[in-house]
Amino acid sequence: MEDTRTQTASPAEESRRSHHSSSTLPNERDDQDIEKQRLHGGMTEGTKDKEPDPNIVDWDGPDDPENPQNFPRPRKWLITIILGLMTVSVTFASSVFSTASTVTAQQFHVSDEVMVLGTSLFVLGYSFGPLFFGPLSELYGRKTPLFMGFFIFAIFQIPVAVAQNLQTIMICRFLGGLFASAPLAIVGGMLADLFGPVERGIAIAVFAGATFVGPVAGPIVGGFITMSYLGWRWTEYITAIMAFFFGAVGFLIVPETFGPTLLERRARRKRFETRNWALHARSEEMPVDLKHIATVYLIRPFLMLVREPILLLITLYMGFIYGFLYLCFEAYPVAFQELRGWNEGVGALPFIAIAVGVVFGCCVIVFFTKTRFQKVLEREGHVVPEERLIPMMIGGVLLPAGMFWFGWTSNPHIIWVPQAISGGLLGAGILLIFMQGLNYIIDCYNINANSAIAANCFFRFTGCFGEINILIDDAVPQSGRTVGHDAAGMSDSHIVPRADSILYLWE
């Protein structure tokens, strides 16, 4: 793929570019050129020097109030908060069912390991959704596919709540995850539509925090609901109510933010106002046929993984790390409920420490962005993407430290406090790695970021699905083993040359 970094190229980047040049498939450059013109108002190097076409509808200068980049700051942050709450809803849904695994396993006469599929199939649905919602958000704008997917996700919570057999639960959990991926695939692009590089880093911190606060809150709320008179089915009813509420509020408040779509609407409006049927947006000059859609949107993500060692490495790393979060959803009940004898509600409270760690990680990102990152940008005029990796390397140290801490304090004869506190390191480590990995991908691939993120999401969540199911036995005490031994073993598997260090040294 043709590299799209906007910063001054390092030797490593030049090497990558020469690799792209030699490995590009026939006609792929044409597809990329068409896409660049479509997404950036039709402007390419060859058209910048030409006389402007009076029939082309564009922004009314750099301060056009309809340009999302020029929205008032309070409005931008209100939109960001609403999008964050929608993200919390879909990520909350991914884990809230995990607390009902034991109860539903007994009700439907299957093992606990089988009911883990209720969580892992939802995550598997996450992996396929971005392959569709990413392209839809660039063809039809952000808002329509976002809310279409979100409301369908909300609807699929109801069949799970009323399910009378295991098949209904599993199928609807997978489909719920498929449509729940809409915010995960689209919100990052919406934040890029709204914010510049520095503020975008802070906005992405809010988005990433929501991505992790949701699944951490799920077991806490779900544990108390499951053990109450409401029963496990209300974990799904509560999720549906929350999703419909935030979806309705978001639909009323969140506008379309995709520039080409807004300009197409402006052109359509002006055609009827002026009766000048030649008026059009630049993006409308670019035909989008099935071949273009297949090449640019469906094939490109997989080609990028093959040709982009940076993307492949960071994707493998993020997938491995993201799986730890969902393994915690299975390991924590063992550590605090089975070994320490706590009930389902109280046994989920240690997840609060992970949530605190997530918030701390967000604060670290905001501090880093407003200090080092912003200063480098002001001094140099640009920032290489590898600057994003510094907090990521901090997270790469905190995560295994938290795993060791969790493992070494898992003996029920040791007071619960130190084991619960270890969750703070886990949450901060996972957040720093995940969020900065996402920022790094966006900075590296710019116009192709959606394709890169789609590829990253597909393999990250697919790998997470496999990690949950393959390693779940290691989260359950067997043959005299304890959670502590297994946690320490997972920590050992993490102490390897990490992707962040390799990429930073490569730069």
Query: Residues 173-204: pLDDT tens digits?
Result: 999 999 999 998 888 888 888 988 778 778 88
| pTM beyond 0.75, yes or no | yes
Share of the chain above pLDDT 90, in %: 17
Q: Which two tokens stand for residue 494?
A: 């993490």
Question: What b/e readout covers 108-123, taking b as 16+ CB neighbours within 10 angstroms?
Answer: eeeeeeebbbbbbbbb
Residue predicted with more confidence, 128 or 457:
128
Residue 498: which pLDDT band, with cuts at 50, 70 and 90?
A: low
pLDDT (0 to 100) of residue 310: 81
User: Rounded to the nearest 10 degrees, what angle do helices 416-445 and 389-408 cross at?
Assistant: 160
pLDDT (0 to 100) of residue 502: 52
Q: Which two tokens stand for residue 220?
A: 């806490």
User: CB-based contacts of 209: which residues, under 8 Å, 6+ apart?
Assistant: 84, 358, 359, 361, 362, 431
Q: How far is CA 21 from the centre of its chain?
A: 30
Residue 368: which pLDDT band, with cuts at 50, 70 and 90?
A: confident
Count each helix (H run) and each strand (E run) in the chain, helices first.
Answer: 24, 2
pLDDT (0 to 100) of residue 324: 76
Question: What b/e readout covers 82-95, taking b as 16+ CB neighbours within 10 angstroms?
Answer: bbbbbbbbbbbbbb
pLDDT (0 to 100) of residue 156: 94
Average pLDDT in the chain:
77
56 DSSP β-pair partners? 280
Burial class (CB in 10 A: 0-12, 13-18, 19+), 267: buried
Query: Residue for token digits 């409308």?
Result: 284
306-328 average pLDDT score: 79
Question: Which domains does the chain possess?
Answer: 68-255+296-506 (1.20.1250.20)
- Model confidence over 397-434: pLDDT tens digits? 888 888 888 888 888 888 888 888 988 998 898 888 88
pLDDT (0 to 100) of residue 11: 35
Q: Which two tokens stand for residue 317?
A: 């790393």
- Is the confidence at residue 31, as pLDDT, over 90? no
56-65 average pLDDT score: 83
Longest dimension (CA), the chain: 81
Burial class (CB in 10 A: 0-12, 13-18, 19+), 261: buried
Asked if 200 and 148 touch (Cβ cutoff 8 Å), the reply is: no
Cα–Cα distances in angstroms (integers) from residue 390 to residues 288, 437, 505, in the given order: 40, 11, 11
pLDDT (0 to 100) of residue 74: 92
